[in-house]
Amino acid sequence: MSISKHIHNDYLPHFYHDWMKEPGRTVLLARREGKLVALQSWLIADEGATAVFEGLRVCPTERGRGISWAVHRFAHSYIQQLHPTIKKARATTKLKNMKNLVARRAILCLVGQEESLDDLISHLKQKIRFSGFTSGLIPLNETQLKKVLLDPKLPSRVQLPGGSIIQTSQPLQLMEGNLEILKRWNLTWLADNEEDPVFLSFYAPSYPVPYNGRATLLNINIFGTDYMMAQGALVSLLEAARSKEELKGTIIFRVHMPWSLVETLQAFCDGHQGFTRCGEVLEQVLLEMKYA
Ligand SMILES: CC(C)(COP(=O)(O)OP(=O)(O)OC[C@H]1O[C@@H](n2cnc3c(N)ncnc32)[C@H](O)[C@@H]1OP(=O)(O)O)[C@@H](O)C(=O)NCCC(=O)NCCS
């Protein structure tokens, strides 16, 4: 757990134990002279074609000595030995100057206290009402979702980054074998219709992070470029999370979206006293490396 110290909003302490039980998941620990110095994890997805990497951490005292590169080289050769038919590795990162970049997304972050949450929701609803827009977004059940996700035209209609749904940091291509993984993640989905949507969004269950002692983090993911729908989705998903999740104390929302929506969504979220922006808008990049 101490490898995550000093990393704001780190999901690793919460997910580590789930990872131990997750089918298709490997967690690699690196030791130097018996001491744990690094961690890397990956999930085999896309019906065995892709290793989705996440969770790279090097102990603060060991950074800058090439350990992450050593882990990188080892992990990729190990994966190819273990899964000879694997085609590629994918990952998302907020690190700068990365090679093998496939797509870019933006992450807007808001922070506030649970007591202000209802007020935030009413404030945003009022803004929507003022604009005269009725979102018309609908929740998707499992059968509808399956049909929507397996439609080969969805990636271009919704402009999916690199043709993938990115669940916060994990990219998955749209195929039958990934539906089980998506189900396991227990996401709450919204779309503009259940036949041929041009807009999709979901939130993933919230989890605790060591921000200012302890906070709850809720990730909202938006696909599609319609800014009115994006505003509607944000409010509806916040409302759904408000009723289903245990949102207590300090709450952080991270909204993952196409860059084209950032300006409008920032303006939409600005102006509330209880929930304010937390840092600059971050860039998340999707990386892909093909195996020979
Ligand atoms: C980012 C991190 C893993 C780098 O580990 P490290 O052992 O210090 O890195 P190395 O000495 O092997 O590499 C030197 C540089 O190459 C970069 N690098 C490492 N792997 C890389 C890769 N696969 N592609 C491109 N650049 C890479 C590193 O970011 C580092 O850049 P920096 O000096 O600007 O930080 C480490 O700083 C860390 O654990 N940070 C906190 C957690 C985090 O940000 N993880 C990334 C999750 S997306």
Task: Give the list of residues 6+ apart from residue 105 with CB closer than 8 angstroms, or none.
Answer: 92, 161, 166, 256, 257, 258, 259, 283, 284, 285, 286
- How many angstroms does the Cα of residue 285 sit away from the middle of ligand 1? 15
- How many angstroms does the Cα of residue 8 sit away from the middle of ligand 1? 16
CATH code of domain 2-94: 3.40.630.30
Residue 242, ligand 1, Cβ within 6 A: no
Residue 150, ligand 1, Cβ within 6 A: no
CATH code of domain 104-287: 3.40.630.30
Task: Give the list of residues 6+ apart from residue 289 with CB closer than 8 angstroms, or none.
Answer: 76, 88, 89, 90, 100
29-41 per-position pLDDT tens digit: 999 999 999 999 9
Residue 7, ligand 1, Cβ within 6 A: yes
**Mean pLDDT value across the chain:** 95
- Span(s) in the chain for CATH 3.40.630.30: 2-94, 104-287
* pLDDT at residue 9 in the model: 82
* pLDDT at residue 131 in the model: 72
The pTM assigned to this predicted structure is 0.94
* pLDDT at residue 212 in the model: 84
Strands (E), the chain: 25-32, 35-45, 50-58, 88-93, 101-113, 138-139, 164-167, 170-173, 188-191, 200-209, 215-223, 250-257, 276-277, 282-290
* pLDDT at residue 129 in the model: 84
Contact 172, 162 (CB under 8 A): no
230-288 per-position pLDDT tens digit: 999 999 999 999 999 999 999 999 999 999 999 999 999 999 999 999 999 999 999 99
Ranges of the chain with pLDDT below 50: none
* pLDDT at residue 8 in the model: 77
